[in-house]
């Protein structure tokens, strides 16, 4: 038996002081049964944290060669590649070779994966950004997910403050360099 994705709506009041961006976002994201709720929550957060003209969700598992989120320029060239989780290093190598800005948002402890990436010979390794949240943050946020979500998200000095329903969460968004300085 095949299960289909569930469409979730998001209305996000975004105040990103780090980017001087203040707006209300409205978007839909498909939650596929093969992904975990924390993975899906991080995918929605990554959309909010990177919102810009042209940002789109990929087709998901039906398009395995595409990132979770991306931006293409008017010529169709990929300019931003965002993956969630712990993608195979070859994916990141490929994305870097396409000339894209590459970001990864981990919903788990990133330290083992960080070691794997540091050991790899990745193209433009120093430009790839691995981001993670504080332990438990993705899981807590995922417990509030519903088919219709109303969030208030504030980003300030690398900290994230999220209100979802009657719950409030906060986390530092950490960026982990893939090369030692």
Domain ranges of the chain: 13-176
Q: Which single residue is written with the structure tokens 């979730």?
A: 8
Q: What pLDDT score was predicted for residue 68?
A: 94
User: Alpha-carbon torsion 163, 164, 168, 170, what sign?
Assistant: negative
Distance, CA of 133 to CA of 139 (rounded, Å) = 10
Distance, CA of 68 to CA of 65 (rounded, Å) = 10
Query: b/e per residue, 98-129, with b = 16+ CB within 10 A?
Result: eebbbbbbbbbebeebbeebeeeebebbeebe
Q: What pLDDT score was predicted for residue 61?
A: 61
The pTM of the full predicted model, rounded to 2 decimals, is: 0.94
**Tell me: the pLDDT tens digits for 29-76?**
999 988 999 999 999 999 999 999 999 998 766 566 789 999 999 999
Distance, CA of 12 to CA of 48 (rounded, Å) = 8
Q: How confident is the model at residue 181 (pLDDT cuts 50, 70, 90)?
A: very low
From the options 3.90.950.10, 1.20.1370.20, 2.40.240.10, 3.10.640.10, give the CATH code of 13-176.
3.10.640.10
Q: Is the pLDDT of residue 3 over 80?
A: no
Mean pLDDT of the chain: 93
Exposed/middle/buried for 46, CB within 10 Å: 0-12, 13-18, 19+? buried
Q: What pLDDT score was predicted for residue 4?
A: 82
């Amino acid at each position: 038996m095949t299960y289909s994705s569930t469409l979730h709506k998001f209305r996000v009041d975004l105040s990103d002081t780090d980017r001087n961006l203040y707006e209300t976002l409205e978007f839909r994201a498909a939650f596929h049964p093969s992904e975990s709720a924390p993975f899906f929550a991080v995918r929605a957060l990554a959309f909010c944290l990177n919102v810009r003209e042209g940002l789109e969700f990929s087709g998901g598992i039906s398009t395995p060669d595409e990132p979770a989120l991306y931006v293409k320029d008017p010529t169709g060239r990929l300019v931003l590649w965002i993956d969630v989780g712990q993608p195979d290093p070859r994916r990141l190598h490929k994305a870097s070779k396409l000339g894209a800005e590459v970001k990864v948002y981990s919903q788990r402890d990133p330290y083992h994966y960080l070691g794997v990436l540091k050991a790899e010979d990745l193209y433009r390794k120093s430009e790839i950004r691995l981001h993670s949240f504080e332990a438990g943050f993705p899981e807590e946020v995922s417990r509030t997910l519903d088919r219709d979500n109303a969030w208030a998200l504030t980003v300030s000095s690398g900290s994230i403050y999220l209100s979802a329903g009657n719950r409030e969460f906060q986390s530092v968004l950490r960026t982990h360099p893939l090369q030692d300085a």
